[in-house]
Amino acid sequence: MGRPPSSSYQRANSFTANDIPIGAQQQQALLGSPMASQQPSPGSPPPPPSHTQMPGTPQPQPPQLPQHQGKQGNDYYPSDIEMQNRSASSGAYYPQPYPHQPQQPMYTMYPPPPQPMYIQQADIYTGHPLKRAVFGPVRHAVFSQLSALAMLAMMIYELVRNWQLTGSVIQTQPNFNVMIGPSFSVLINLGAKFTPCMRPLPNISLSSPYGQCFGPSDTCTLATMCALPSTTAVPDQAYRFVVPIFMHAGIVHFLLNMLTHLRLGVDLERSLGFPRYVLLYMGSGIWGFVLSAMLSNENTASMGCSGALFGLIGYMFIDVLVNWKVIQHPWRELISLLISTIISLVLGLLPGLDNFAHLGGFAVGLVMGLLIAPTRPMATKNVQLLTWLGRIVALAILIVMFVVGIKQFYDSPDPSLICPNCKYLSCLPVNGWCDTNQPGT
């Protein structure tokens, strides 16, 4: 995408050097030539009188200004130059100044953003490069593009690995994977979030057999499914909080997530800059899987960047509230965002979807929005002070969420007993949906 047009806004009461009348002796000083050589060209208006007067000559009085136009010495009139309107016969015209009006926000930076987002147009790519790289805006969404390539490479590797272990590129037996991807066991083997691989459980051992492991009639132990070296090893694969963000249950799942990842994600990264966007994206995705590991069925595997994407949506709520006064139709944007979020969470109750990851990512997105959202344009000092106090509180809440969540997951004797009825936040009690072990996305 080409360079966006720079702001055409300038102060309405500003004057350029060509707009300021100067005296003859001032012209002589500027041009460095005798006054006699400064003959006006035919047809040009006579120069205005100079400030320099001979002794005994009465000084001209400054023009009487209306009250709303200020006085000499302010931004409207320089104190050392007499501003006066030329008559119509002189051929020159000086517009009367008027009070400064604030620039109206424009939403034309990236056509069109999928969600409301205020981006200042003035000085969009100016300033120190390091400051822009940290706080934005930036031209290129490096993390969004590189992470999309990593997810694509992981998707290809999943299909190759499924072919190596099962003899088929996608799962077709005993059930067909509607996402057009590998089997449940292969996804666990590659790093999907699966609680028995992440910590010891009271009723599950690494030697426990699993049917239909890598084939319809194949069985294997939990250690084999988790890619552990032996049945005596300790299941402590904490990397399963991070790796599943870059995995997907199939081609359909991958394409659906890329629609949001490469639209909303790219726009937000360009606005926030690389570091803040990475904190928002990865923090939402990781804590989404922490909450899923705590509350979901222990035999449910989940993967995908949906939790991170819900974190972006949570941030957008804060973005709308912060820029409420500069968005053209804030209520419309907020209601639209709320409806789309509710629909997505309701769809997360269907089988095969991990709503805990969605809810966890959304919660972190809300808190992270308070922490990293830019200060409201033209904010007063009191608003700026409240903004920084809110950021300190948000940082404390975020630390507590991660520390308590991870500690609760590992210290609880059985994570399934932390909140037994919370499973209905991710499934409907219909046809045994809450007891299935389908991979969640």
Residues annotated catalytic, as ranges: 306, 358
Contact at 8 Å (CB) between 244 and 195? no
269: which residues sit within 8 A by CB, 6+ positions away?
138, 141, 142, 143, 144, 277
Closest CA to 427 of 300, 327, 335: 300
- Burial of 321-333, coded b for 16+ CB within 10 Å and e otherwise, reads ebbeebbeeeeeb
Dihedral (CA of 83, 85, 91, 97) sign: positive
**Amino acid code (one letter) for 238:** A
Separation CA 62–CA 43 (nearest Å): 28
User: CA nearest 163: which of 152, 172, 150, 174?
Assistant: 172
- For 15, 161, 430, the CA distances from 47, given in Å and listed in that order, are 18, 86, 91
